[in-house]
Structure 1
Amino acid sequence: MRYIAINDGVDTAREDNEFTPLRNWFNEFYARDTSKKIRAVKQAKAQKGERVNGEAPYGYLIDPDNRNHLIPDPETAHVVKQIFAMYVRGDRMCEIQNWLRDNEILTVGELRYRRTGSNRHPRPQLNAWYNWPDKTLYDILTRKEYLGHTITGKTYKVSYKSKKTKKNPEEKRYFFPNTHEPLIDEETFELAQKRIATRHRPTKVDEIDLFSGLLFCGDCGYKMYAVRGAGTLERKHAYTCGNYRNRARNDMLCTTHYIRKSVLKELVLADLQRVTSYVKEHEQEFIETANECSAKAVQKTLTQQRKELDKAQNRMNELNILFRKLYEDNALGKLSDEQFAFLTSGYDEEKKTLTRRIAELSQEIDNATERSADVKRFVALVRKYTAITELTYENVHEFIDRILIHELDKETNTRKIEIFYSFVGRVDTGDKPTESISYFRQIGADVKSYAI
């Protein structure tokens, strides 16, 4: 192969190419320097909140008078609102996709092609113009731009030699609040994030359970599983501890913590009515009490976590000392290589577990010091509803953060249920706990379940 560069006077057929390696080095240096300058300019723009990529999120258009300002897209803004509304209502992703297909809503890529003539991927077939991928919908549901904020510096290029990009961590991004008109309110957005985080999945009858992602075992902390079949009567639907259900595959043993869904629904509805009624009638008293209880709860949690962190760090120091002693014995010939490998194998796994746990505890302590009860948001949520007469997916997941199911006390035939509400945790109104009495066939007696 013969290579000729007229401007540089290079011809591989001749043997006078001594300066070619040096010229290549200068060209490489020039490309790298240019890349640094371009990156510095884009970084400066990102720090000032200016748009760098030139493309607006789906549902917005770039303002013709100011390219750094977004305005709602009259053609697609309502689609974003509908996607959020259906998702927080409890609709499955396939139901949202069916709605988009039935209403012939063009995908993001096809809409971009029709407006600009450019596309990042090959165009789909005619019958696939309205087939929205799961990833696109999840990207829309997690974008904070729909709250009216601007986030820049979300990605970066690995190298000037490559077109690959990577995501920046949250702390390296630039956040500018209230820069344009929001399409979604804070409550709807947070409810969507809560549902995404809990990883809901449909039951065997192809629907999302009312308490999906909220129920946990009160003893081992594992998720509660729905027990139901396609032909099972609704009155027989129930929940059991996931650890008990998977006892054949794990080493951690737990009991059933069995509870009927009808009993739980009755308890939760009654307790929700109790709390909302109390907040409406004694709003100021509730705010003062909730703030005081929140401070005590945070302090108690911090104390427990710090004790566990100190214990884990002390054990890690002990393991490091043991490793040094074993290594010295091995180096001096007191231990063979086989004995050294055998003795340290168990410690290696323990060190990995401790390292992960120390990192988790440190993060939890940092978060706990910054987190406090947002009582005013809970009060605003109560005002949003005039009266709650039945449980829906939306109001359950708006009001409730998690529910702990404790095992049945067979001596007293009672079962405790702990309900933690969003932003405020447990709510004590001073009234008698909400109760529900039902017949439990397995013990042949009535069982009193009460919520606190």
Structure 2
Amino acid sequence: MKISDEQVWNTCGYVRLSREDGDKEESNSVTGQKDLIRDYMARHPELRECGMKVDDGYTGSNFDRPAFREMMAEVKAGKINCIVVKDLSRFGRDHLGVGEYLEQLFPFLGVRFIAINDNYDSLHSNVESDELVIPFKNLINEAYCRDTSVKTRSQLEIKRQRGDFIGSFAVFGYRKDPENRHRLLVDEYAAGVVRDMFKWKLEGISAGDIADRLTAAGIPTPMDYKRSQGMRYSTSFRLKEESVWDAGMVLRILKNPVYIGVLEQGRVTTPSYRVKRLVVKPREEWAVVENCHEPVIDRYDFESVQKVLALDTRTSVSGKAVELFSGMVYCGECGGAMIRKTVPTAKKKYVYYVCAAHKNEKRCFSHSMRVETLDEIVLDALRRYIQDVIDLSDLLELTDTAQLQQAGMRKLQGRLEKKREEIDRNQALLRSLYESLADGVINRDEYQDLKKTYSRRRAEAEEQAEAIQEEMSREMGNFSEGRGWMEQFRKHQNIDALDRTIIVSLIERILIFRDRRVEIVYRWHDEFHWQMDLLRQAQGTLPGREAV
């Protein structure tokens, strides 16, 4: 298409602003760009304004912008044949893309392009100078965008690593500190809802039933609550004018460690400043910082809920909550799950736990136990174990801390020495392998297999030795910090009946053997025996009951 100097041009102004590209709002504001473009058109009467397209908040590193797409659609429809921008960087910062538009697409479509501050007008262009200057300016614009992207990523990573919250909106249960937008404060109303959700989950209520309770009670969803607080919050998940709670919302809250004061940020990234597709990062690359803000949920309760979520539990017949021991009972003979079996009779129903392996495949012994019997055994054993923990806690409080610390360090030192012996033993075996190969005792394939085995064992021993050394360093800090779990038992010292919360909070699993023996593995059982050994070393052998 031939371009004439005397024709009237149907002109569209194009405005773009993005702080992501490092644009300075005071100099590149939307209003400022519009005023500059209109002033230019007023001084050039052949330019007839036919629109003003604005992309506010869109990067120039690509052309996937709504207003830009609208403008190009009008160009192709023949409604626009001239585009005016403040400068080339407003049009785009991708030098290849900008070059393709200026050198190929616009000339083909007969479109005049004007960049005011760059003194570029395709109608009056100097071919020789423009072939050098314009691509160079586009390269500078792209380099500026790339440099800004690198700096922004680095600054955000520094903020994540020091525990600054960088999200646009605070998570449900918190609000941003008005004096420091990178710090979270507890929102008491929403935090109360979160506490109820964790409490109900510990009681055995399913995520779906929790969602139904919240909806029935008229509790606004996180999205609706943010909007009710005047926040301009939107999400692609919104389908209705007023959303309702669902199991997915509940599970996201129950699994989020932010409620114990932990910030997990930097989970996703983009491949580059040009490509805005989100990519999930490996967990080891996340920025995880402890004690960033006031917790809403006790850490022990949070860990108990994570344990419950990992269990294979089923809702009870009533549909209100899972059964008392659901997901907790295992066969002591084969290690498989024990399942509930109801045996109806003329007068009443009897409920038993039976080994699933025997019932389904006959791979284990035929043994069972009535639920009522198991309830009595567990309650009695738990009462005694709670008292053992309380007695141990009281004795530790009365014992000189220095003595306990010395006993703990001696025990750790003994473990460390054994690991070092294991490292030396595997190192010696590795040295002797080549001699065995040279003497013909082993062949090359055996040599390679044994070398891998001994190298792996040595590496594992080295990692374990390093972990013991780190534990020794922690022990030198505050020796009493590791006994907080004892309070979880103490607060249940007066139990007279079992409930789901007590079971999942204090018990790891329950084993039933064919001789009707019941073995209970309590939570923190390793810590209990560790503290007991320290006390024995510090004060001599202690008399006491043997816990189930």
Q: TM-score range by the shorter chain?
A: 0.5 to 0.7
Residues 1:261 and 1:59: Cα distance change in structure 2 (over 3 Å): same
CA distance in 2, matches of 1:102, 1:243: 41
Residue from 520, 524, 541 that aligns with 1:423 = 524
Residue by residue over 1:203-236, the C-alpha shift from the partner in whole angstroms, topping out at 9 and shown as x without a partner, is 4553401112221222222222222379998762
Aligned residue in 2 for 1:104 = 218
Residues 1:120 and 1:141: Cα distance change in structure 2 (over 3 Å): same
Report how far residue 405 of structure 1 moved: 1.6
CA distance in 1, matches of 2:511, 2:343: 24
Residue from 170, 180, 192 that aligns with 1:78 = 192
Residue by residue over 1:413-446, the C-alpha shift from the partner in whole angstroms, topping out at 9 and shown as x without a partner, is x32221111112588997888xxxxxxxxxxxxx
Residue from 199, 213, 216 that aligns with 2:330 = 216
Structure 2-normalised TM-score? 0.56
SS at match of 2:384: helix
Report how far residue 14 of structure 1 moved: 4.6
Residues 1:230 and 1:156: Cα distance change in structure 2 (over 3 Å): farther
Does residue 142 in structure 1 map to residue 255 in structure 2?
A: yes
Residues 1:148 and 1:285: Cα distance change in structure 2 (over 3 Å): same
Alignment RMSD: 4.6
Aligned residue in 1 for 2:58 = none
Residue by residue over 1:30-58, the C-alpha shift from the partner in whole angstroms, topping out at 9 and shown as x without a partner, is 55444323211211221222222232110
Identity percentage over the alignment?
26
Report how far residue 165 of structure 1 moved: 4.0
Aligned residue in 1 for 2:118 = none
Residue from 265, 269, 273 that aligns with 2:383 = 273
SS at match of 1:216: strand
C-alpha contact 2:221 2:245 (8 A) present in aligned 1: yes
Ranges in structure 1 where 5+ consecutive residues have no aligned partner: 311-317, 325-353, 409-413, 434-450
Structure 1-normalised TM-score? 0.67
Residues 1:69 and 1:220: Cα distance change in structure 2 (over 3 Å): same
Residue from 103, 120, 123 that aligns with 1:10 = 103
By relative contact order (CA 8 Å, sep 6+), the higher-ranking structure is: 1
Does residue 385 in structure 1 map to residue 499 in structure 2?
A: no
Letter paired with 1:265? D
Residue by residue over 1:279-316, the C-alpha shift from the partner in whole angstroms, topping out at 9 and shown as x without a partner, is 44554568999x99xx89x98xx99xx9xxx9xxxxxx
Does residue 54 in structure 1 map to residue 168 in structure 2?
A: yes
Aligned residue in 2 for 1:113 = 227
Does residue 182 in structure 1 map to residue 283 in structure 2?
A: no
Segment of structure 1 superposing worse, 151-160 or 181-190: 151-160
Aligned residue in 2 for 1:63 = 177
SS at match of 1:244: helix
Residues 1:67 and 1:282: Cα distance change in structure 2 (over 3 Å): closer
CA distance in 1, matches of 2:482, 2:105: 77
C-alpha contact 1:279 1:286 (8 A) present in aligned 2: no
Ranges in structure 2 where 5+ consecutive residues have no aligned partner: 1-74, 89-98, 109-126, 427-441, 533-541
SS at match of 2:490: helix
Segment of structure 1 superposing worse, 373-382 or 197-206: 373-382
Residues 1:257 and 1:376: Cα distance change in structure 2 (over 3 Å): farther
C-alpha contact 1:204 1:230 (8 A) present in aligned 2: no
Residues 1:423 and 1:195: Cα distance change in structure 2 (over 3 Å): same
CA distance in 2, matches of 1:89, 1:136: 19
Aligned residue in 1 for 2:509 = 402
CA distance in 1, matches of 2:161, 2:347: 59
C-alpha contact 2:208 2:246 (8 A) present in aligned 1: no
SS at match of 2:361: coil
C-alpha contact 1:148 1:181 (8 A) present in aligned 2: yes
Residue by residue over 1:172-211, the C-alpha shift from the partner in whole angstroms, topping out at 9 and shown as x without a partner, is 423131x322211122212111111214222455340111
CA distance in 2, matches of 1:54, 1:430: 58
CA distance in 2, matches of 1:368, 1:223: 33
Residues 1:105 and 1:230: Cα distance change in structure 2 (over 3 Å): farther
Residue from 260, 266, 274 that aligns with 1:153 = 266
C-alpha contact 1:241 1:254 (8 A) present in aligned 2: yes
Residues 1:384 and 1:27: Cα distance change in structure 2 (over 3 Å): same
C-alpha contact 1:90 1:208 (8 A) present in aligned 2: yes
SS at match of 2:516: strand
Segment of structure 1 superposing worse, 271-280 or 83-92: 271-280
Residue by residue over 1:336-377, the C-alpha shift from the partner in whole angstroms, topping out at 9 and shown as x without a partner, is xxxxxxxxxxxxxxxxxx9xxx9xx99x97999689999723
Report how far residue 399 of structure 1 moved: 1.6
SS at match of 2:245: coil
Residues 1:170 and 1:255: Cα distance change in structure 2 (over 3 Å): farther
CA distance in 2, matches of 1:98, 1:386: 34
Report how far residue 25 of structure 1 moved: 7.6
Residues 1:420 and 1:430: Cα distance change in structure 2 (over 3 Å): farther
Residue from 232, 239, 249 that aligns with 2:353 = 239
Report how far residue 27 of structure 1 moved: 6.7
Segment of structure 1 superposing worse, 135-144 or 164-173: 164-173
C-alpha contact 1:244 1:256 (8 A) present in aligned 2: yes
Residues 1:262 and 1:398: Cα distance change in structure 2 (over 3 Å): same
CA distance in 2, matches of 1:116, 1:274: 53
Letter paired with 2:234? N
Residue by residue over 1:312-348, the C-alpha shift from the partner in whole angstroms, topping out at 9 and shown as x without a partner, is xxxxxx9x949x9xxxxxxxxxxxxxxxxxxxxxxxx
Residues 1:27 and 1:280: Cα distance change in structure 2 (over 3 Å): closer
Report how far residue 76 of structure 1 moved: 1.5
Residues 1:260 and 1:158: Cα distance change in structure 2 (over 3 Å): farther
SS at match of 2:484: helix
Report how far residue 79 of structure 1 moved: 0.8
The count of residues paired between Structure 1 and Structure 2 equals 375
Letter paired with 1:399? L
C-alpha contact 2:198 2:254 (8 A) present in aligned 1: yes
Residues 1:277 and 1:38: Cα distance change in structure 2 (over 3 Å): closer
Letter paired with 2:265? T
